[in-house]
Structure 1
Amino acid sequence: MKNMFVGASVLALTTGSAFAAGLDRSGQSASSIFAADGTAALTFGLVTPSVTGTDAGGASYDVAKRYSQTGLTFTKSVNERFNWSIIADKPYGVDVDYNADPLTSALGGTKADLNSNALTIVGRYKVTDRISVFGGIGAQSIDAEVSLNGQSYAGAIATAGVAATVPGLDSALLGAALRGDVAAATAIDTTYGAGTTAALGGAVAGVVGGFNATGGYAFRMKESTSPNYLIGAAYEIPDIALRIAGTYRFESKHSATISEDLLGTTFDSTTPGYDDQISYVSPQSFNLELQTGVAPGTLVTASYRWTEFSAVDIIPTRLGSDLVNLDDAHRFTLGVAKRFNDRFAGSVTLSYEPPTGNNTVSPLGPTDGLKGISFGGQFTDGPIKISGGINYSWLGDADAGVAGIKAAEFRDNHAVGIGFKAEMTF
């Protein structure tokens, strides 16, 4: 069963062609370190999500755009104990667009575009024939543009701005009062004087008018590049194609230059007193990958990935609130690969991401959990292997919210992904 890792590569192919939670795109696997000496691989994935929803005013949205994924790896042995691999991928991404009129919808005009690139070199040392340890260093670059628009954001941003002018006033309390919560209005008027709620409501309405007239809020973050590190270990029994590998990636600290547009004013490095630098982290993560032969020509795989998206806070200077606001992601897969003959192999893989159970989710990622199935096939001709796969994922229902208040609901959505992989051993 030593050569059953060929079937495993069919299963791994679907990772880059499947929809994933949060900002995840590539899955950041370091499994290329186990490839044969002199193996180069090129992967390409195309994902077409269908994420549609409606708001209480009747506006409809089709928010998720098609996106592609590419990856490149090369693995080389130095001697019987040490080998290395170079991995190029796009670990994170967002591409959403609420295609509705911002003046007559809750979220129309809201957009997000986040891009990333990473290059990592990993070295592995075989402590014994069964135990190995590995570590890597790389560079990771990220840039982003976000627009917040529509009446939900207009109200939330205006309310937060007006509340900030009143010492000790919580914007959530003011928002509740302006939505008709009598207890909240009474609390404000008792603390700050009769008629305060009405006066602040007038101020909020004025800011909302300015927000609508000037095209909402816009945020731009220039590309920043930071180092990234990983460590891992593996246990293998080659005779039965068994391998258990764990990979931990450290979070990366980034510092980037930003600019913002709000109420007709652009805030950037030329604005007196404006801080155009922002600090944030890309998340730490852990991948656990298992494979084992269960019969001649048959391989079973399983994996788990945890990504700490809750630690990713991007808080622009002028906006003053987090643009990301995501929970940690957990992804499980289970698959089986079958070699039919020396040239052909096939696979099927199930994937699952549990829902968070939150009442609302970020409008920049309006789904909650998923269930997916992938089918793959591989053709081998000497040193060349060509693989292809297709994934279908059922995306969990979710309510997109702004400041914890439901703005739109998304139901019965899905994503389709296709992937291709070409490998050659020199």
Structure 2
Amino acid sequence: MKNFISAAAMLAASTSLASAGGIDRSGQFVRALFEEGGETGAYAEFSFGAVSAGASSAGLPVDPLKSYSQYGFAFKQDINEKLSFGIIIDQPIGAAVDYRPFPFAFGISGFALVESTAVTALARYKFNDNFSVHGGIRFQDLGGQIQTFVGGVSPANLTASSDFGVGFVVGAAYERPDIAMRFALTYSSEIDVDLEGTEVALATATASPTAFTATIPASLNLEFQTGIAKDTLLFGSIRYVEWEGFNLTTPGQGQYVNFRDDSITYSLGIGRRFNENWSGAVTLGFEEPGTRPGNTLLNPKTGQKSIGLGVTYTNGNTKVTGGVTYAELGSQNFTATGLNFNDNSAIGAGLRVGFNF
């Protein structure tokens, strides 16, 4: 039952989409910290996902949303019955949009490729079978290339990258092992990253060095699960991110990106174990739409509804979880360009392999 519990709850993360609030990707969940170790008290998992998204606008013969892939790794080691340590590597922030095939349509001239990597070192201490606390340090970088989306004031191309900024993670959990219940609340602080790079003013083709600071927003995750019948698990999550005010602003050319809305993303699922080896799960996701019209073409959608299906195969100390998620992405419009993006959607597929040893 324990293997089934953790495998079913992993589905939401295994097939997460880049369509969450702002430019959120991984969700930065800490489920791996609650995995059971094997004979040596160790657990490790590897994950890979791919997303294909699309957004369409009448009169604009280009789909700006581009496909992308991402990876993840987690390791957890029990020190004794009360204390354990873990490390999680993921890609929490990203964007992949491109309007360049028709650079002069509607005054648009731009694209963005933004990527990040985070390394989170965590410790968990169990007071008893019911209560535990966890926390640690997160190192996160940010980098990529952005070209101004809407012509007008100082259109420019920015290429920049950062060293790792540092933040902290702290949380607590309540568990009832007899009914497979767990509620885990985790707060992640904001992280300041200092970026350096080059700006090219498109009007004059003049390149200049630049340096600026971007603040990766704070977030709060609630992850939960509970048994509701024999071999049946209800699980889900709520994620809040302070995206409002997140921006990329340089001293030379000004503001490239500015988000105006915080985001709350909900996920709810049911998992069912069919036998000792096989289990399946279904998840539903929802995110409230943000402000319309939008003020950045970096995210030509707002809000989403999704459904995910997954299956897990467990054999000995190995479990493999695969899943697919389909999302209807909310429409968005932009006053400055007259663009209205409708019929937006995304499909993501994920694979996760876990070992306890």
What TM-score, normalized to structure 2?
0.94
Q: How does 1:10-25 map to 2 (within 5 A)?
A: 10-17=10-17, 19-25=19-25
The answer for the alignment partner of 2:95 in structure 1 is: 94
The answer for the alignment partner of 1:266 in structure 2 is: 206
Give the aligned length: 352
- Name structure 2 gaps, 5 residues minimum: none
The answer for the alignment partner of 2:67 in structure 1 is: 66
The answer for the alignment partner of 1:417 in structure 2 is: 348
Q: How does 1:258-337 map to 2 (within 5 A)?
A: 258-262=197-201, 263-269=203-209, 276-337=210-271
CA deviation profile, 1:259-285 (whole Å, cap 9, x unmatched): 21112143424xxxxxx2201211100
CA deviation profile, 1:206-260 (whole Å, cap 9, x unmatched): xxxxxxxxxx521111233111210000000001000000000000011111321
The worse-fitting range, judged by mean Cα deviation, of 251-260 and 338-347 is 251-260
Partner secondary structure for residue 62 of structure 1: coil
Q: Which of 1 and 2 has greater Rg? A: 1
Question: Post-superposition shift, 1:26?
Answer: 0.5
Decide which of 314, 336, 343 is 1:380's aligned counterpart: 314
The answer for the alignment partner of 1:192 in structure 2 is: none
Question: Post-superposition shift, 1:310?
Answer: 1.3
Choose between structure 1 and 2: higher strand proportion: 2
Query: Is 1:85 aligned with 2:86?
Result: yes
The answer for the alignment partner of 2:57 in structure 1 is: 53
Question: Post-superposition shift, 1:327?
Answer: 1.8
The answer for the alignment partner of 2:138 in structure 1 is: 138
Change (3 A) 1:324 1:144: farther
Query: 1-side partners of 2:145 and 2:18: how far apart?
Result: 24
Superposition RMSD on alpha carbons, in Å? 1.7
Question: Post-superposition shift, 1:304?
Answer: 0.4
Query: 1-side partners of 2:116 and 2:274: how far apart?
Result: 38
The answer for the alignment partner of 2:161 in structure 1 is: 222
Question: Post-superposition shift, 1:14?
Answer: 3.4
What TM-score, normalized to structure 1?
0.79
8 A Cα contact 1:246 1:287, kept in partner: yes
The answer for the alignment partner of 1:183 in structure 2 is: none
Question: Post-superposition shift, 1:293?
Answer: 0.2
The worse-fitting range, judged by mean Cα deviation, of 258-267 and 240-249 is 258-267
Choose between structure 1 and 2: higher helix proportion: 1
Partner secondary structure for residue 239 of structure 1: helix
Query: 1-side partners of 2:7 and 2:344: how far apart?
Result: 31
Question: Post-superposition shift, 1:69?
Answer: 1.4
Aligned partner letter, 2:30 = A
Query: 2-side partners of 1:326 and 1:221: how far apart?
Result: 23
Question: Post-superposition shift, 1:382?
Answer: 0.6
Q: How does 1:344-363 map to 2 (within 5 A)?
A: 344-363=278-297
Query: 2-side partners of 1:284 and 1:399: how far apart?
Result: 27
8 A Cα contact 1:3 1:241, kept in partner: no
Change (3 A) 1:307 1:82: same
Question: Post-superposition shift, 1:298?
Answer: 0.3
Partner secondary structure for residue 83 of structure 1: strand
Percent identity (aligned): 34
Query: 2-side partners of 1:361 and 1:393: how far apart?
Result: 23
8 A Cα contact 2:12 2:283, kept in partner: no
Question: Post-superposition shift, 1:59?
Answer: 3.1
